[in-house]
Structure 1
Amino acid sequence: MNAAKALEQTALKSADKTAYTFMGQSVTYRELNESVNRFAAGIQSAGMKKGDHMALLLGNSPQFIISLYGAMRAGVTVIPINPIYTPDEIGYILRNGDVKAVVLLDILLPALETLNEHLPSIDQYVVCESGDERAAGLAPANSSIYTKMKTFSYLLANDGAFQEPAMDEEETAVILYTSGTTGKPKGAMLTHKNVYSNARDIADYLDISEQDTVVTVLPMFHVFCLTVALNAPIVRGATMIILPRFSPKEVFDAVNAQKATIFAGVPTMYNFLYQFEQGDPSDFSSIRLCISGGASMPVSLLEQFEKKFNVQISEGYGLSEASPVTCFNPLDRPRKAGSIGCSISNVENKVVNELGEEMERGQVGELIVRGPNVMKGYYKMPEETAVTIRDGWLYTGDLARQDEEGYFYIVDRKKDLIIVGGYNVYPREVEEVLYAHPAIIEAAVVGAPDPDYGEAVLAFVVQKRDGLTAGAVIQYCKEHLAAYKIPRSVEFLQELPKNTTGKILRRSLKDQILK
């Protein structure tokens, strides 16, 4: 079984069920499946073969879903890329990923034209036009990529027969380039088995059904959305509300109007929803499950959100290399605030020491993962693969502990650990204290070099209104933290740096300090 085949089965079982709504239009599973088949036939007739690589430079849209599933159905490996990356960042992934075709937004044509001469392997650009323009109207005839261009609508108009290739579940379906903390991005190769099994298992674990309506507002190019808010709903025949971008007002309006039952977001999204003054608890009354991932959610934010909107937030954990979900708070047992929950179906998690030996409950070590969701390796990086996957276990680089009831807790990133005078300081622990301050909206903590203690704790905060002082914040921390954990300095910012999924970038703050 694979994700494309799962869509086909859903279309047979629930042909007239709404697959998604987008910008006021609804599309059934039958219509979606037909579009996927036409796209698969279109790229085949254009010369794409099984095993070729196709990049997607698209935002949240029907074109993303059709391209993703159409390519997978044709045996073409998909490489989703954040469309707001710089030309250099895009160029690196296109070259490193040996991309042969790109499906892109028309507004990105100028950027791709500047890169084209350095991308000899690409022979096709499939343009998602803003209107009904034909390819000739999207770029001048003397453009370097004009002869390689086709429009998305042209491919979908293809009436050729689709020849479905023989598929093996161990073949690569998707390559996800991880942002990483150092060096160039690495391409995590996810097989058809990886992609499908994680969608199936998280759908089972969270009891997603065809009666559910899921808000799909996380970026589709990100693995969190890809599995939890896209593939899992399709496996179960649920309806997706596709929102092009995150806006608190649009989320509340969509949930209220379409009676959504599941919302998936990162902690920053929940913070914006909570802070939105026009947000009324009644707008979220149809939601049965809120899902949080991508980063640890401060417990104070989780509790405040739940109290205001009368809904439970279930935190989970994942990473691109695991397709991504490995843990989630169970629905049939108590949710534990601050925990990422327990191992999902068919996946094992454990906490180990530097020698790879499992540690006693309650002790902090590295979280490692094993299951059908673990990637086959990094594209063209055998050495990196050997370091990350050992004896079938994926080493996540995250520090965690497990309690007596089997619930896991992420302590912090191994690389973010701050060592002050020989004592370990986990940034998240300090951030939890800062988030609990009534005048602080957001906070991030990093380590900086210190001549006396090796490292010092530095805090960056966003306050609700002017008036809070660094001294007051430090005094507050003294009341809640051991002396070596107290920030040496506090800097106030208008906003914290974040990636496109809303995850706070500690690395950017650290780079700012070291300049």
Structure 2
Amino acid sequence: MNLSSQLHATALQHANKHAYVFQDEAVTYLELDAAVSQFAGGLEKMGLKKGDHIAMLLENSPYFVVGLYGALRLGATVIPINPVYTADEITYILNNGDVKAVIALDVLTPLLQDIEPLLPSVDHFITCETPQQQEDTQYEKKSSFFGKMKPFTELLSSGEAIFEPPAVEEEETAVILYTSGTTGKPKGAMLTHKNLYRNAKDIADFLNIHEQDWVMAVLPMFHVFSLSVALNAPLMNGGTVIIMPRFSPAAVFETIRKHKATIFAGVPTMYNFLLRYPEGKQEDVQTLRLCISGGSSMPAALLKAFEQKFNVIISEGYGLSEASPVTCFNPLDQPRKPGSIGMNIVNVENKVVDEFGEEVPVGQVGELVVRGPNIMKGYYKMPEETARTIKKGWLYTGDLARMDEDGYFYIVDRKKDMIIVGGYNVYPREVEEVLYGHPSVVEAAVIGIPDMDFGEAVKCFVVVKDASLTEEELMAYCREHLAKYKVPSEIDFLDELPKNTTGKILRRALKQQLLEQ
């Protein structure tokens, strides 16, 4: 079984049930399954075949769902790419990923035309119509590029509703996710059909996602969190996906009310925006039975404030692209522990190890390693990097963690982000938690900076709602709650912190800004 065949099985069982809704358009499982087969047939008529690599530069939309599942039904490998990436970033991934066809928003046509001469392996550009595309686009249309173009809708209509998919082995690569990393070029994590299917199924079963659930997909689907938790998992068990093109607090509250959504998945920054939205009320979210948080650790102060205001529990989990992504989650039938990423999900094993790969005692900090059917088979064309990351079947996450006596895990910080002040370890998250506890702090990020005396020192960046708050006042607050070596030596006040497209705060961007100053 794989994602495509499971979708077909679900369509047979729930033919007339809504698979997704998008901007008031509702599509049944039968209709979605037929569209997926048609699109797979259209790709085949275009000359694409099993094993070919197809990139998708799309926002959340039916194009993404049909494009993903249609390519998988053909047996192709899908490479989702953030559509706001620069021309250089897109060019690198398309070439490194040996992409033969690109499915993209039509607003990206000028960019794709510019880089097309740099893409020797790309034979086809499939364009998806967007409302923002202007009829009279101001750019020179080059015949060499437009000869490779075809509208998504035209390709879809060229296929047949009945398509006989090729045999696909579970260890064949289904998706390659390019992870940005902290240094160097992006790495393509190869996820197999088994990886994606098993993780989606395990998530759906662990969270009891069922046919009565309406799941909000507001996180970008090109990101693995949304891909597996908000899209694939509901489609495994006959749930309905509410596709939202982008995040805004007003739209989220309106959508929950309108569709009586039962599950919301977001990152901490999203919950922060929802909490601070002045018109958000408890009755807006009364149909939610589950809020899921991932992507980065949620500050305890934010968790408490959100739950008090909206009377809904947030359950934190943990995952990474290389693990398809989920490895841990707070169980629904046992006590939820604030600050914890939860326990092993079914079929997945986590442990905390020292620098020699030996498991450390309960309560001690070490590197989190993971194994299970969800672990990638490696980085595309990077065997050395793969060997450094996967050792004896265990995926080394690069995250520092600890486990308590009940088997709950806690992320302490990124291994590379740890700050060493005079020989003492300082975990940025620990300092950030204290900062978030101050009533005026809205957002906080902590990094290490060089220090002549102690090797490194703690530097903080904060966004506050009280403009009169001074650096010394905030430092005094930190001194009340932190050991002396953990107290920041510098605090910068910013209007906003740099974030990626999922809303995760980017410490590395702050470090880069300092280097460039």
TM-score range, shorter chain: over 0.9
- Structure 2 residue 477 is matched with structure 1 residue 512: no
User: How big is each residue's C-alpha offset from its partner over 1:317-350, in whole Å with a ceiling of 9 and x where there is no partner?
Assistant: 0000000000000001000000000000000000
Which residue of structure 1 lines up, in the alignment, with residue 494 of structure 2?
A: 493
Q: Given residue 395 of structure 1, which amino acid in structure 2 is its aligned partner?
A: Y
8 Å CA contact retained: 2:267, 2:502: yes
User: How big is each residue's C-alpha offset from its partner over 1:18-63, in whole Å with a ceiling of 9 and x where there is no partner?
Assistant: 1111111111111111110000000001000100000000000000
Q: What is the CA–CA distance in structure 1 between the aligned matches of 2:386 and 2:414, rounded to whole Å?
A: 19
Q: CA deviation at 1:163?
A: 3.3
- Structure 2 residue 293 is matched with structure 1 residue 292: yes
Which residue of structure 2 lines up, in the alignment, with residue 210 of structure 1?
A: 211
Q: What is the CA–CA distance in structure 2 between the aligned matches of 1:352 and 1:445, rounded to whole Å?
A: 25
Q: Given residue 57 of structure 1, which amino acid in structure 2 is its aligned partner?
A: L
Q: CA deviation at 1:136?
A: 12
Q: What is the CA–CA distance in structure 2 between the aligned matches of 1:424 and 1:252, rounded to whole Å?
A: 41
Which residue of structure 1 lines up, in the alignment, with residue 432 of structure 2?
A: 431
Q: CA deviation at 1:511?
A: 1.3
SS of the equivalent of 1:63 reads: helix
Which residue of structure 1 lines up, in the alignment, with residue 43 of structure 2?
A: 43
Q: What is the CA–CA distance in structure 1 between the aligned matches of 2:30 and 2:140, rounded to whole Å?
A: 37
Which residue of structure 2 lines up, in the alignment, with residue 475 of structure 1?
A: 476
Shift in alpha-carbon separation, 1:131–1:456, aligned structure 2, 3 A: closer
SS of the equivalent of 1:144 reads: helix
Shift in alpha-carbon separation, 1:132–1:245, aligned structure 2, 3 A: closer
Q: CA deviation at 1:242?
A: 0.6
Which residue of structure 1 lines up, in the alignment, with residue 202 of structure 2?
A: 201
User: How big is each residue's C-alpha offset from its partner over 1:229-248, in whole Å with a ceiling of 9 and x where there is no partner?
Assistant: 00000001101111100000
8 Å CA contact retained: 1:418, 1:446: yes
Q: What is the CA–CA distance in structure 1 between the aligned matches of 2:90 and 2:138, rounded to whole Å?
A: 20
Q: What is the CA–CA distance in structure 2 between the aligned matches of 1:446 and 1:510, rounded to whole Å?
A: 7
SS of the equivalent of 2:386 reads: helix
Q: What is the CA–CA distance in structure 2 between the aligned matches of 1:323 and 1:362, rounded to whole Å?
A: 27
Q: What is the CA–CA distance in structure 2 between the aligned matches of 1:369 and 1:327, rounded to whole Å?
A: 10
For residues 10-21 of structure 1, the aligned pairs below 5 Å read 10-21=10-21
Which residue of structure 1 lines up, in the alignment, with residue 102 of structure 2?
A: 102
Q: What is the CA–CA distance in structure 2 between the aligned matches of 1:288 and 1:489, rounded to whole Å?
A: 42
8 Å CA contact retained: 1:457, 1:485: yes
Shift in alpha-carbon separation, 1:304–1:396, aligned structure 2, 3 A: same
Q: Which runs of 5+ in 2 are unaligned?
A: none
User: How big is each residue's C-alpha offset from its partner over 1:155-194, in whole Å with a ceiling of 9 and x where there is no partner?
Assistant: 1111445231011000000000001001000000000000
Q: CA deviation at 1:224?
A: 0.1
Which residue of structure 1 lines up, in the alignment, with residue 119 of structure 2?
A: 119
Deviates more, 1:161-170 or 1:2-11: 161-170
SS of the equivalent of 2:216 reads: strand
Q: What is the CA–CA distance in structure 2 between the aligned matches of 1:406 and 1:192, rounded to whole Å?
A: 29
For residues 435-474 of structure 1, the aligned pairs below 5 Å read 435-474=436-475
Which residue of structure 1 lines up, in the alignment, with residue 75 of structure 2?
A: 75
Which residue of structure 1 lines up, in the alignment, with residue 31 of structure 2?
A: 31
Q: CA deviation at 1:360?
A: 0.4
Q: What is the CA–CA distance in structure 2 between the aligned matches of 1:132 and 1:257, rounded to whole Å?
A: 25
Q: What is the CA–CA distance in structure 2 between the aligned matches of 1:4 and 1:469, rounded to whole Å?
A: 56
Which residue of structure 2 lines up, in the alignment, with residue 389 of structure 1?
A: 390
Which residue of structure 2 lines up, in the alignment, with residue 313 of structure 1?
A: 314
8 Å CA contact retained: 1:106, 1:138: no
Which residue of structure 2 lines up, in the alignment, with residue 128 of structure 1?
A: 128
8 Å CA contact retained: 1:113, 1:143: no
Cα-Cα RMSD: 1.5
Q: What is the CA–CA distance in structure 2 between the aligned matches of 1:166 and 1:37, rounded to whole Å?
A: 15
User: How big is each residue's C-alpha offset from its partner over 1:84-127, in whole Å with a ceiling of 9 and x where there is no partner?
Assistant: 00000000000000000000000000000111001010000000
User: How big is each residue's C-alpha offset from its partner over 1:245-275, in whole Å with a ceiling of 9 and x where there is no partner?
Assistant: 0000000000011100000000000000000
8 Å CA contact retained: 1:78, 1:174: yes
8 Å CA contact retained: 1:448, 1:457: yes
Q: Given residue 338 of structure 2, which amino acid in structure 1 is its aligned partner?
A: A
Deviates more, 1:305-314 or 1:155-164: 155-164
Q: What is the CA–CA distance in structure 2 between the aligned matches of 1:475 and 1:141, rounded to whole Å?
A: 61
TM-score (norm 1): 0.98
SS of the equivalent of 1:358 reads: coil
Q: What is the CA–CA distance in structure 2 between the aligned matches of 1:167 and 1:139, rounded to whole Å?
A: 42
Q: Given residue 375 of structure 1, which amino acid in structure 2 is its aligned partner?
A: M
The number of residues matched between the two structures is 514
User: How big is each residue's C-alpha offset from its partner over 1:353-406, in whole Å with a ceiling of 9 and x where there is no partner?
Assistant: 000001100000000000000000000000000000000000000000000000
Q: What is the CA–CA distance in structure 2 between the aligned matches of 1:490 and 1:136, rounded to whole Å?
A: 49
Q: Given residue 79 of structure 2, which amino acid in structure 1 is its aligned partner?
A: I
Shift in alpha-carbon separation, 1:136–1:444, aligned structure 2, 3 A: closer
Shift in alpha-carbon separation, 1:108–1:414, aligned structure 2, 3 A: same
Shift in alpha-carbon separation, 1:46–1:138, aligned structure 2, 3 A: farther
**After TM superposition, where is structure 1 displaced by more than 6 Å over at least 4 residues in a row?**
135-140
TM-score (norm 2): 0.98
Q: CA deviation at 1:144?
A: 3.1
Shift in alpha-carbon separation, 1:493–1:136, aligned structure 2, 3 A: closer
Q: Given residue 272 of structure 1, which amino acid in structure 2 is its aligned partner?
A: F
For residues 59-458 of structure 1, the aligned pairs below 5 Å read 59-130=59-130, 142-160=142-160, 162-458=163-459
Q: Given residue 329 of structure 1, which amino acid in structure 2 is its aligned partner?
A: N
Deviates more, 1:263-272 or 1:122-131: 122-131
Q: What is the CA–CA distance in structure 2 between the aligned matches of 1:141 and 1:110, rounded to whole Å?
A: 9
Q: CA deviation at 1:143?
A: 3.6
8 Å CA contact retained: 2:18, 2:26: yes
8 Å CA contact retained: 2:300, 2:433: yes
Q: What is the CA–CA distance in structure 1 between the aligned matches of 2:393 and 2:345, rounded to whole Å?
A: 18
SS of the equivalent of 1:109 reads: helix
Q: What is the CA–CA distance in structure 1 between the aligned matches of 2:175 and 2:384, rounded to whole Å?
A: 20
Q: Given residue 48 of structure 2, which amino acid in structure 1 is its aligned partner?
A: M
